[in-house]
A and B are shown apart, each in its own frame.
Chain A
Amino acid sequence: MAQAAVSPGLLVGEGSAPAAGPPAGLERPNFEIVPRRGLPIVAVILVALIVAVAANKLWPLMFLHVVGGASWTIIDLFLGFVLGPILGSLPVPARIALTTRLMPKMVLIMPTAVIVTLTAGWQLGTHLGFVLDTFYLHGWVLASYIVVGVMAVIALGLLEPANIAVLTELKKPQPRPEVIERLMKRFIYTSGATGLMQIATLVIMTKLASG
């Protein structure tokens, strides 16, 4: 695997300085911002989603909604409350190694989990009558729309652009530590915020499932 050197200040706040000078010996693994090997898997999942919606059968819709939603929720909680704080406390080379391996996968996994959850969820809600305003827990359904909406705005407006920009910066021969620092801060804060919103999602979804 090809390697590139980066400044030791990268991903570190204290005493960071622009990486104007020669590389100081830390190694940055070569990586793809969007892992191409994952694209066929995403395509298969999306085709399965289209087929499930077209068929409108309970089990495939339930399967996709639960698997997508569980993935989305657990990843958000794990990133926000477990991996995010750990990432901030790791030594610089470990942070770079983890970031360049984890975040490209997130570029594919998160949008796929979100679209599968929402699309299958809407079709499932239609199939079961949950989306009708005559449904006795319609208020809970509306609450789920609002929670998902807030998470979507945070994720689409802040998290996803920061993720792509961090990876793009890390691809440069001389990444700027202050850019990475600012974007990682945004990433960690927004991960925590969406993690909190996911707790609300768990409350709402368990209420809807149990009646």
Chain B
Amino acid sequence: MSEGIPAEGARLDEPRLPPVTQLGMASLALIVAGGIYLSAHLPEHVPLTPAIVLLGASVLLFAGNVLALSRVQGFAWGRFFEVARWALLAYALIAGMIEYVFVRNHTSGGPLVVLTLSLVVFAVHVPLLIGFTVARYYET
């Protein structure tokens, strides 16, 4: 594999950035864990507390990510939104498909609310990660 991966080249001269990717992956992992928990029980009765705790922790990480990113000086916000809005459209569509298949199978009440909110976090956090990864290397 030594030829497969390039050796360390010139170092990137970029400003210090908050750990957006790491927080984003942690947030997504919590959402996925909640989704697995719900899916493991459906269509039977699901005790919602674990799923709500996972969702709440994921939302906190997302909010922390947005807050940390908003404080970065000179971030390429124009580029960020240019990319993130299209990614949002794509991932909203994907989230919509997942929501559709659960509604089609009569998921309702509390589980549907938790699932929907989880999908909302998923659908906004992935575009944030894509927009961030593109914008952090953007140079005017």
A interface residues, Cβ below 8 angstroms from B:
9, 11-18, 34, 46, 49-50, 53-54, 56, 84-89, 111, 115, 118-119, 122-123, 126, 131-133, 142, 145-146, 149-150, 152-153, 156-158, 160-162, 164-165, 168-169, 176-179, 181-185, 188-189
How many residues of B are counted as interface, with CB atoms below 8 angstroms from the partner's CB atoms?
Answer: 47
Cα A16 to Cα B6 with chains together (Å): 10
Q: A169 and B6: CB pair below 8 A? A: no
B11 at the interface (CB under 8 A from A): yes
**Distance between A119 CB and nearest chain B CB, rounded to angstroms:** 5
Dominant SS among interface residues on chain A: helix
Dominant SS among interface residues on chain B: helix
Given the known inter-chain contacts A123-B104, A145-B40, A146-B36, please indicate yes or no for A177 contacting B129, CB distance below 8 A.
no
- Partner of A49 from the list B21, B97, B105 (CB cut-off 8 Å) is B97
Q: How many A-B residue pairs have CB under 8 A?
A: 146
**Distance between B61 CB and nearest chain A CB, rounded to angstroms:** 12
**Distance between A63 CB and nearest chain B CB, rounded to angstroms:** 16
CB closest residue in chain A, given B122: A156
17 contacts between A and B (CB under 8 A): A50-B100, A85-B4, A122-B105, A123-B101, A123-B104, A131-B43, A133-B40, A145-B40, A150-B32, A153-B32, A161-B21, A164-B134, A165-B137, A169-B137, A181-B6, A181-B9, A188-B5
